[in-house]
Structures are given as structure tokens and as C-alpha cells.
Structure 1
Amino acid sequence: MRPIELPEELAGVAFTSDRARALGVPSKALRTSRLEHPTRGVWAQHPVGDDLRERARAAHLAMCGDAAFSHVTGARLLVLPLPPRALQQRRLDVCTRTDVGQRRRDGWVGRRGLETRQVVVVDGLRVVDLVDTWIDLAALTVGRHPTMTRVDLVVVGDEVLNRLLCFANAAQLTPRRKPYLDAALVAAAYREIDAAIARRIRPRGKRNLLWARERIRPGVRSPKETEARLVVVEAGLPEPLINHDITAPDGSGWLGEGDLVWRARDGWVVVEYQGAHHADRRQASADELRQRILEDNGCAVFPMWAEDLDPGARQRAFLARVAAALTRQGGPTPPQVE
């Protein structure tokens, strides 16, 4: 192997054999050089590292116009919140039309059915769009070694729903500060998701997909908020309001905003998920002041920690306290939590 002098246009970037030949570099010179060879027909002066976008850019050069990144690769390029198990995947998901056939290359997972999916361009890369990528992820919840759970699918679905709302809100003449409170925008976003599901014929993981579709909600701001909401709802507690404004009982003013909120006859019941940043001293001080203000105005406030998300005695005790507060405050009637 020997060094090769490349035209300025090819320096520092991945390029195809055809591009090199067009610039006067013979194919034999490429094969006998010290260039990196990330995939068939693609070359680079320097190694393509572990960065997903860098690997995807190199692979994209070898993809035809009838292909797009999908599934885990698509979700990562769209910056959707995936669990660690899915993030460990190294191979790139490449989806093509059914009549073209799967792309088979080292480091690729061939997928088919692009004709039933919408495609967007992200940083110059063809990617299956938000909603269709979410539907594709349902396939990862089934099989012998699933890499996602149904809860993970709801986490991603909440993010997809909220992005649809943000896009629609930004297109309005008078955007709202909280688009998830706009009933028309929310209804339109749900319709878009349902239409995408209806376009599919027996998608893999359909039962889990429909389970998740019934549980995605607008307004959730983090994966842990989704998990907290599912813990209380799946335990049978009434559906909470999400990131809702809390006002004084006498209507005198705004008291704050709660992660999960129930409006009760004698005040509000509030569950606040406490992420890692809440352990900071200054944040903990601010949290305590906020909690005192809410409690002084008749609210029952329950901080929820990561440990409360895990099934067990601690979670059952937490849910029992929230259920008792709902009963005491005259809120929506909860079931008996055992």
C-alpha cells in the first residue's frame, strides 16, 4: 500500500469510486493506496470513526436514491430518545422499496417497504420521517431478543407527538407558548399518526404499537416524565394533566406548573418527578420553597424519584399515598392501591 495524491475536492471527505474517476484518479490507484474503505465503492483519506453521522455520511454515498435510513439509525439521526440497548447497535438500518430488494453490505441491516413510508432529509441524509420511524421501532419490541420495551415505545411516541405539535404551532400566525394545550393542533397530530399506522399492512410489533398509541400524550418533556405518568396510570390512578398550570384556590393567581396534576375539589394533587439535577443544593432549595408555596395553598405535593419507577414495595407505598391524597382532596376517585 502506498500514499496517494488526491485532488483538493476529495481531501478530508468520503467519496465514491465514480467521483474519484471523474476527477482523474484511476480505480487501480484507489485499490492499491492507503485509503480507508468504509464500504464497497466508497473511500476516505482518514478512518471513519464511531460517530453515527460520520458513518452514515459514508454509507449514504453508496445508497441509491430509492433508499433511506430507518429504524434505530433513523431514530438516532432524528435525535429521538432511545434506550441504551438500542443505542448499542452498530449496524446501519437501510430501507429500500420492496420491488428493489434489500441492500446487503457489511455493517448494514437491509429493510424493505420504503414505499409505505415518508422520507425527510436530515443534514443531507435521507431518513424515514418521525412518525414512520416510530412505527418501525415497534418491531424492536418483539422477537427473541427485543431491544425496546412497550414503555420505551411510548417514550419515543411522546417525543414524536410533541414535535409534530411544535412544527404545526410554528407554522401558525400566532404560535402558542404551550401548543399541547391547543385542542385542534393535538387532534391533527393524532390524525397524522393514525394515518401513518393505517398505511402499513401488518407492521411488525403491531400489538405493542397500538398499545403505545393509546398511551402517548402531548406535553411530556422528558422520558422519565413519560415513565412516571405510565406508572401512575397503569396502576389504575386517574389520568393526570401534564405540565399543567396550578392556580390558587381563590383564583387569585398562578402558583406554578406541575409535572403530573389532578384538579380536586379541595385543592390540587401534584406529582413532581425529581431528575438528577434536583439533587443539586440550589435546585433542592428552590424545589423546597416551591413545594411550601403549593402546600400553603392547599396542594398535596409528592416528589417522585427514579427509585419510585421500579416495581416493588416503595412504588406501591408511593402510589398509595397519591391515591389517599386524591380521596382526601375530593379529586377523581382512585381505586384501592395494594
Structure 2
Amino acid sequence: MPRSFTVAQARAAGIPRGQLRGASFSAPFHGVRLRGPIADRSLYERALALLPRLSDGQFFSHETALFAYGAPMPEWPYRPGLHVSAYRPAREPRTRGVSGHRLQTRAPAFETLDGLPVESPVRAWRQIGRLWNYGDIVAAADFLISGAAPLVTAEALRNEVVTMGDVRGGILMRALSDVRYGVRSPRETRLRLLLRDAELPEPEVAWNLFDERGTFVAELDLAFPRYRVAVEYDGRVHAEDAAQFARDADRWAAIRRLGWDHQRVLSHHLLGAGAAAVAIARDALIRAGWTPGR
């Protein structure tokens, strides 16, 4: 028997019902038994525990699917839920601890990822439009279209919204207008949106800096080339990797040698409304000659 199984599977294997009530097994969901407790209460472990109960045509969707693809989740205290969907006429699961969804009749697009049947990233992104706030929706899309091997294109996300409709007053189309390729982290997305909301100039994302000989120097998270200002998010509390920190320090020095004002935004600068992060970028731009309101 696998570690997680249904009560029906256990009975078919000859395990007495009374034994299933013993201390050797836990019941993470109705009709499901697990050998021992769920050691890790992560969304992935909870999904694995539920997997034996899924019937044909049921699959993990919404934020559960995006989690499986590695997309950033909303920050604490938000706790992503376990979402399972089915396309009509199949029925969604109805059990405690699971959000079931019966979707419109469409050709299924789910796939198997790390042993889990999951909704396509394009459809899953549209589905979280009813669950997440604006910045988290943008950060998820930034992740999906970026990286060495993007999971989707911005055009595919847009086509999904056009085909299936927008939600919550057009939040998805508005989010797509703020999506940028090359973003490295959700905190970088949040920083960029903060600067936008503060009416600072639009920064270039993942901008390549070269020296006067055409030699590559650095890729800048958020760059204002006109003002030679670079703003980057650095989430490290301290230098855990001394060698990497040394390389980064040399990189910062190289950027400054070319006459750029390089500013690091740390996690505590984003606390609350992020006023400290905005002030860092605004002050650097003003020193470089930018006039607020222009």
C-alpha cells in the first residue's frame, strides 16, 4: 500500500477497519488514511495526502496548481488553500479542508507535475483572480513569463482572459498592463508597483549595463538609465554565503564606477506601506536631476 490511500483501497487490501483507526494511521481527509502523521503541513504534502481520493477528471487548480509550478504565494498571514476542480459534467470533491470547483465545459488542459494532476498555468492564473490581491496577481504573472524557460507568455495569459472573461472589475487585464519580463522575485514586483504608485518614472526591468568598451557589467533589477540610478531589492538579512556576498560587493562597486547611483532596498524598507523603499528611490532620482511631477 502507498503511504496515502483511501479506506476503500485499504479494505480491498484486507486491512481491517479497526486497524485503520489505530495510532499507526492518521485521517487527513474524510475517506483517506495516511501512514503516520503529515510531517510537513505544506500545501504540497497536503495535496499528496489527498491524491488517492481524486477521481477521474479531478485535478488541483487555482493557487494549489500555481504552487506546484513554483509560483510565489501571497505572504504571511495568507495561507494558500487546497483547491480541486473538475470540468462539467464531472463533479468537484466535497470534503472538509478542500475547496471544490465545478468549471465550465472546456477541453481539459491539466497535466501531471511531480505526481500531481494540476491545471495549466494559464488557466490557474486566471482562477486566482478571484482570490488574491492585485500585487500578488501581478507577481505570479511576472514569475510565469520570466526565467530561462518561461512557463507561459503574456499573450497566452491575455488570450485566456479574453476567452473566459475578466473578474472583479477587470483586475486581470489591469494586472497584465503591469506585468514585466525578467522579474526575479515577488518582492521586486512589489517594489516596482510601489514606485509606480508613488508616480516615479517607469524603470527598466532586468536592464543590462555595459561599460564604455561594450563589456557587460551587470543586469540591474530596476534601472532608470536617463538618471543613471539603479534600485534593487536585496532580501538577505545577513551575508550567509561570504563568497557570494563578496561577488555582489564587487558588482555594486563596478556599477558605481560607471557613475551610477546604486541603491539597495532591504526587507525592512518594504514594511507597512513601503514608504522607506519609495523614499530611497525618490531621493536618488532627485539627486540625479529628476523633478517630481514631471
Q: How does 1:271-310 map to 2 (within 5 A)?
A: 271-277=231-237, 282=242, 286-309=247-270, 310=272
The whole-number CA distance in structure 2 between the counterparts of 1:252 and 1:101 is 60
Q: Is the 8 A contact 1:119 1:129 kept in 2?
A: yes
Q: 1:62 to 1:47 in 2, by over 3 A?
A: same
Q: 2:198, 2:78 → 1: CA distance? A: 29
Q: Give the letter aligned to residue 231 of structure 1.
A: L
- Quote the Cα distance in structure 1 between the aligned partners of 2:180 and 2:145: 7
Aligned residues between the structures: 287
Following TM superposition, by how much is the alpha carbon of 1:76 offset from its aligned partner in structure 2, in angstroms?
A: 2.4
CA contact (8 A) 1:40 1:62 kept: no
Q: Quick one: percent identity of the two aligned structures? A: 25
- Find the residue that maps to 1:100 and give its secondary structure: coil
The structure with the greater share of residues assigned to helix is 1
CA distance in 2, matches of 1:123, 1:196: 25
- 1:27-176 mapped onto 2 (5 Å cutoff): 29-30=16-17, 33=20, 34=22, 35-49=25-39, 50-85=41-76, 88-89=79-80, 92-113=82-103, 115-116=105-106, 118-141=109-132, 149-162=133-146, 166-167=149-150
SS at 1:323 equivalent: helix
Structure 1 residues 102 and 206 mapped into 2: Cα distance closer, same or farther (>3 Å)?
farther
- Counterpart in 2 of 1:182? none
CA distance in 1, matches of 2:97, 2:285: 50
Q: CA RMSD of the aligned region, Å?
A: 3.1
Which 5+ residue runs of structure 1 have no aligned equivalent?
A: 1-9, 142-148, 169-187, 329-333
* SS in structure 1 at match of 2:178: coil
Amino acid of the residue matched to residue 57 of structure 1? L
Under a length normalisation based on structure 1, what TM-score does the superposition of the two structures give? 0.72
Residue in structure 2 matching 1:223, options 170, 175, 186:
186
Q: CA deviation at 1:246?
A: 0.9
2:229 and 2:260 in contact (8 A); partners too = yes
* TM-score in terms of structure 2 length: 0.82
Matches of 2:240 and 2:7 in 1, distance apart? 54
Secondary structure of the 1:112 match is strand
State the partner residue of 1:318: 280
User: C-alpha separation between the residues in 2 aligned to 1:80 and 1:86?
Assistant: 17
Tell me if structure 2 keeps the 8 A contact 1:81–1:156. yes
Shift of 1:223: 1.4
- Is 1:247 equivalent to 2:234 in the alignment? no
8 Å CA contact 2:62, 2:83 repeated in 1 = yes
Q: Distance in 2 between matches of 1:76 and 1:232?
A: 27
1:233 deviates by 2.4
Q: Which runs of 5+ in 2 are unaligned?
A: none
Alignment of 1:171-190 (within 5 A): 189-190=153-154
Change in Cα spacing, 1:60 to 1:247, as seen in structure 2 (3 Å) is same
